[in-house]
Structure 1
Amino acid sequence: MDDHTQPTSYLLVDGENIDATLGTSILNRRPEPHERPRWDRLMQFTRETWGGSPRGLFFLNASSGMPMSFIQALKALGYLPVPLSGPADEKIVDIAIQRTLQAMADRDGDVMLVSHDGDFLEDLEPLLGTDRRVAVVAFAEFRNGGFNRLLEQGLEAYDLEHDVRAFTSPLPRIRIIPIDDFDPTQFL
Structure 2
Amino acid sequence: MSERTAGTTYVLVDGENIDATLGTSILGRRPHPDERPRWDRLLSFARAQWQQDVKALFFLNASGGMPMAFVQALKAMDYEPIPLSGDASTKVVDVAIQRTLQALAHRPGDVLLVSHDGDFLADIEALLDTDRRVGVVAFTEFRNAGFTALESRGVQTFDLEYAVGAFNTRLPRLRVIPIEEFDPAAYL
> Runs of 4+ in structure 1 displaced over 2 angstroms?
none
Residue of structure 1 in register with 2:180 after alignment: 180
Residue of structure 2 in register with 1:116 after alignment: 116
Percent identity reads 66
C-alpha distance in 1 between matches for 2:184 and 2:139: 22
Counterpart AA for 1:45: F
Deviation at 1:183, TM superposition (A): 1.2
1:150 maps onto 2:145 in alignment? no
Deviation at 1:154, TM superposition (A): 0.4
Residue of structure 2 in register with 1:53 after alignment: 53
Residue of structure 2 in register with 1:19 after alignment: 19
Residue of structure 2 in register with 1:41 after alignment: 41
C-alpha distance in 2 between matches for 1:174 and 1:123: 30
What SS does the corresponding residue of 1:96 show, helix, strand or coil?
Answer: helix
Residue of structure 1 in register with 2:63 after alignment: 63
TM-score by length of 1: 0.96
Residue of structure 1 in register with 2:167 after alignment: 167
Counterpart AA for 1:63: S
Q: Please, which runs of 5 or more residues in structure 2 have no aligned partner? A: none
C-alpha distance in 1 between matches for 2:148 and 2:67: 35
C-alpha distance in 2 between matches for 1:105 and 1:112: 13
**Once structures 1 and 2 are overlaid, which stretch shifts more, 95-104 or 176-185?**
176-185
What SS does the corresponding residue of 2:37 show, helix, strand or coil?
Answer: coil
C-alpha distance in 2 between matches for 1:146 and 1:79: 27
C-alpha distance in 2 between matches for 1:22 and 1:112: 19
Aligned residues: CA RMSD = 0.7
Report how many residues are paired.
Answer: 184
Query: Would the aligned equivalents of 2:148 and 2:157 in 1 still touch at CA under 8 Å?
Result: no
Q: How does 1:49-128 map to 2 (within 5 A)?
A: 49-128=49-128
Deviation at 1:92, TM superposition (A): 0.6
C-alpha distance in 1 between matches for 2:124 and 2:35: 29
Deviation at 1:136, TM superposition (A): 0.1
TM-score by length of 2: 0.96
C-alpha distance in 2 between matches for 1:128 and 1:113: 13
Counterpart AA for 2:171: L
